[in-house]
Amino acid sequence: MLFDLINETIQKEKLGEEISFTPTYSSGIDVMDYRNGRVEKGEVNVGFDGGRIITVIGKSGSGKTSLAIKMACSIVEPYENGNIFHYDFERATNMSRVKTISGWSDETLEKKYKNLQRNIYSESIYKVVKAIDKLKNQPENYDEIKIDSGKKDEEGNPIYVLPPTVILLDSWA
């Protein structure tokens, strides 16, 4: 019974369904973009595929957070409605550090970057991911924020994508 309900949800929500186009985003670090790029239908796509989970692993003090902030800022910067939500479990990042790494103005930081350091749990992250998805896909919001990818589907219609939202989970144990 539970399997059938989950399967119905998968079909209804189109979870796991193959999509015809996946946007790629530049991390601002060429070597990483090329290593994570792909060739699809004869076209070279350099960067990280949208919707991917990227894990940065290393010793304490090795620059993992700085690297993740730099990548996140590079991914969302070109998009008016691109955003970063930084769940800072260690409470070790301040906005001055983010400003230095990103090179952004105070105005851009306020518009695009949210550093969360209190009352954050796995459940709150799940809830915010679901809320972002719901908000982006409401028809009135979708039509306002959609971006023409410059690509066409099999019938020649333009393919639209949504601006990237990056969620940084900083040292999630």
Q: pTM of this prediction?
A: 0.85
Q: Which pLDDT score, from 0 to 100, does residue 19 have?
A: 67
> In order of start, what are the domains of the chain with their CATH numbers?
2-170 (3.40.50)
Q: Which pLDDT score, from 0 to 100, does residue 94 have?
A: 94
Q: Which pLDDT score, from 0 to 100, does residue 18 have?
A: 66
Q: Which pLDDT score, from 0 to 100, does residue 43 have?
A: 84
- Distance in angstroms (rounded) separating the CA atoms of residues 70 and 135: 26
- Could you list the mean pLDDT of each consecutive 10-residue stretch along the chain, which spans 173 residues? 88 74 92 90 89 91 95 97 94 95 97 92 89 92 93 89 94 71
Place of tokens 């998805």: 133
- 109 contact partners, CB below 8 Å, separation of at least 6: 95, 98, 99, 102
- Distance in angstroms (rounded) separating the CA atoms of residues 91 and 117: 5
Q: Which pLDDT score, from 0 to 100, does residue 21 have?
A: 82
- Distance in angstroms (rounded) separating the CA atoms of residues 14 and 37: 25
